[in-house]
Each structure stands twice: as C-alpha cells, then as structure tokens.
Structure 1
Amino acid sequence: MLRRALPAVLVAATLLPLAACNSESAGTQDAAGAALPTTTSAAPEASEPAGPAKSDRGNVIKQVGDEAYATLLDTDERVFTFSVDAIRVDQPCNSGFADEPANGHFVGIDVRAATTPNLPADWFIQISADNFQVIGPDGLTVTDVWGTAYSCLGTAGSFTTDQLGPAQQYAGTVVIDSPVTSGTLIYKVPGEPTGWEWQF
C-alpha cells in the first residue's frame, strides 16, 4: 500500500500529514518504526497496491481506464475512487463563448469519480485543471494548463468544480489548455511529490 496523500485531495486549507491516523490508531508506527502523529480524523492517502509501477518522476503510471482510490488509514476502506477514461486532444467546445486556446490546444480529460458514505467530512476533494500538468516530447513540464480552458465546455458536459460529497458518483470532462498534442499527462496536488501519469 502506497502511503501517500491522494493527489486529488485537499484537506480543509492544507494537507494533513501524510502518515496521519485517527485517535483510535495512536501508537501506530510507520515503515521506519517512527511513531505516527495522532489527529482527529484519518488523512486521505494514496491508494495503489504495494509496488505499483512508477515513472522516473515518482508518479504512479496508469493506463486510461485504470482506477485509483483513497482509503482510510486505520481500516483500508476505499472511500474515494476515480479514473481517467479518455484523453482527447483538440477537445471540441460547446459553451458558445469559447476563447481560442491560450497555450495551443484544448485537451479533454473524461473523469469518473465516486465516494462512499464514509468519506470524512474534512476531506476536501476537487478535480480540476489546476491539478494537471503536461510533459511534451521535448521533455519540458508545463504546470499552467488552465489558460482559457474554462471557456470551452458548458456546465452540462463539464466535471463538477464543486467539492465532492459522500455517497455520490460523478462523471464529466475536465478541459486543460496544453501546448502539446502528445506526451505525458500528470495529475497531482501542488506541493505533493507523488501523483499519477498517463501517456497521450
């Protein structure tokens, strides 16, 4: 089990310590034998099986359609899952007021997500263009892929920008503004060393 905070998850205003556990788990130790801190609720953690394939950047390598999930630290119960079902270069726009891509190309990312009733109230989960990056064939990483992507799709086709609530399912398209039409798509929370990546 990869013990990392889920790259799609912001907990309140900040990320909780990655190895945090709830008060019922006090005294638990990490892999190095160090005592883990006690908090009022479990922090979201990464959700990959032990020993997932990783890139040289430390991200978990995923294929389109693969599922990722976050579990409660004390029970390993999956409370949040998501998958990238398609990556579409030159995403058609339907908002009626779309601007030209500032970076060159709109890329549509079809996302499905689901939460369980036990999703902790202090897990602030959103999936938006802010969490994506691209690496082009030239090896350059582009972290600002927001551009004019917000103008591309109408509300009906877009993945929600709201916080995800418990016991719900979501589907829609996140649009990013990319300078490249092929390369590596990365999904992670700023400041977190580990994310997920897909080739497109």
Structure 2
Amino acid sequence: MVMRRSVLPALSLALVLSACGFSDAADGDADASSTAAPSTSSEAAPGTEVELNERGNIAVEFGEEAAIRASSDPEAPPMLTLTIEELLVDPPCDDESEVPPENGHYLAFRMRAVASDDFDPRVASPIADYDFSVLGSDGTSFDPVSPAGRACFGPPRLIQNMRVGPGYEYEGWMVLDAPVESGALVYAPGGEGPNQWEWQF
C-alpha cells in the first residue's frame, strides 16, 4: 500500500505521519496487540545527558527502551518509549503474502511501544517504517521501505498500522527490505529531530 506523508507539529518532533493505511484500532492476531499500560510505565524518570556515537545517534541495545521526548532536554518526560525486542533476518512471509524482497533481504523487528498518559492522541503513529534506515557495515545508508516489505507480514501484525493512544502499550512487527544481513538500524522521526537512535544487528 502506498502511503503519503504529512508533517504535523505534534510532540515537536516533526513526525512524518501516514495519511492512510492506519487502522482505527489495534485489532489483530497474537503478534500485534495493544493493552492499557500501568500508569507507572509511562512516568519514566527524567534522564541524564545522553552519549552520542560517531554518527550522532544514541546507541541502543535490543530489549532496551528508547525514550522519545518532545525535545532534546534529557529532563523532559518521555512521550513514548520504544523497545525493539528481537530481529529476524529473512523470516518466512505470511502464506497469503509470499512476496520476495526487492532489495535482497527482509529484516523483521518485533517492537513494543508504551505511550505516556500525556501522549497526543491526534498523532496517528510515531512508529512509521519510513522513519527507519539501515546502515551497511561500511556506513552506507539504505532506504529499507518497499511495498514488498509491507506485504510480507499481514497488516494486523504491523506496528505502523496501529493508532497509539495515551497510556497504552503496543506490540507488533515491522518488516524492512535491505540489501544487507547485518549492520545498524537507525530511527530518526521525521528524518530529523532532537534525537536519533541506532541498534547494531
């Protein structure tokens, strides 16, 4: 499905949002779900000055929370926490969506997101596939978004198809299409903003 972008000022992150392709509810199978998060999970303590790697990104490990704030101020409360739990290289696609990757390899990431009680519900989703890029081992950057990647897993399993509401926890998958099997995943909301995050895989 082709998704067109629009830029909204919500969260001051200039998040690039999709104007179509989002479901009104996070209904789906066991691989994609939403639940009300405990109030304490959205009240993360203010952080300290973050360290940036040589590319100016915040290095994050799988299973570690990335606190998405409205500004680069480490004392600002996070509006959303994003955790990438695991990575599968070249996972089998759903039976009804068996489409070969256009760029070489599918990279499937299982993610969990928890929205704070102050999250702006007008934001359709801050977790959009076009906010991610993949770096090869030589530092070459690839745009990993393709119709094939979006078709590999059915829409109910994809986290970018979910609307995020205040105080809720969401879990689902994102499938990217890249010419490498290892490297780094970079999350840059809106292509820029106060922070960018990076996972090595």
Task: Tell me the TM-score normalised to structure 1 length.
Answer: 0.69
**Structure 1: tracts of 5 or more residues without a match:** 1-9, 19-46
2:198 alignment counterpart: 197
2:37 alignment counterpart: none
Aligned residues: 163
| 1:112-142 residue CA offsets vs partner (Å, 9 max, x unmatched) | 0111332234545331321111111232111
Secondary structure of the equivalent of 2:191? coil
CA distance in 2, matches of 1:135, 1:155: 26
CA distance in 1, matches of 2:12, 2:70: 14
Structure with higher RCO (Cα < 8 A, 6+ apart): 2
Return closer, same or farther for 1:156/1:72 CA change in 2, 3 Å cut-off: closer
* 2:13 pairs with 1:13: no
Secondary structure of the equivalent of 1:130? helix
CA distance in 1, matches of 2:11, 2:174: 26
CA distance in 2, matches of 1:139, 1:151: 27
| 1:6-25 residue CA offsets vs partner (Å, 9 max, x unmatched) | xxxx996246756xxxxxxx
2:142 alignment counterpart: 142
Q: Highest Rg: 1 or 2?
A: 1
Secondary structure of the equivalent of 2:56? coil
2:41 alignment counterpart: none
Q: Within 5 Å, which residues of 2 pair with 1:17-166?
A: 49-71=47-69, 76-166=76-166
| 1:54-74 residue CA offsets vs partner (Å, 9 max, x unmatched) | 221111000001102234679
8 Å CA contact 1:136, 1:182 repeated in 2:
yes
Secondary structure of the equivalent of 1:110? strand
Aligned-pair Cα RMSD in Å: 2.9
How high is the sequence identity, in percent, across the aligned residues?
Answer: 29
Return closer, same or farther for 1:48/1:173 CA change in 2, 3 Å cut-off: farther
Question: 4+ runs of 1 displaced by more than 6 Å?
Answer: 72-75
Return closer, same or farther for 1:192/1:15 CA change in 2, 3 Å cut-off: farther
Question: What letter matches 2:199 in structure 1?
Answer: W
CA distance in 1, matches of 2:134, 2:46: 22
Question: What letter matches 1:98 in structure 2?
Answer: E
Q: Within 5 Å, which residues of 2 pair with 1:152-191?
A: 152-191=152-191
Question: What letter matches 1:196 in structure 2?
Answer: W
8 Å CA contact 1:147, 1:176 repeated in 2:
no
Task: Tell me the TM-score normalised to structure 2 length.
Answer: 0.69
CA distance in 1, matches of 2:104, 2:180: 7
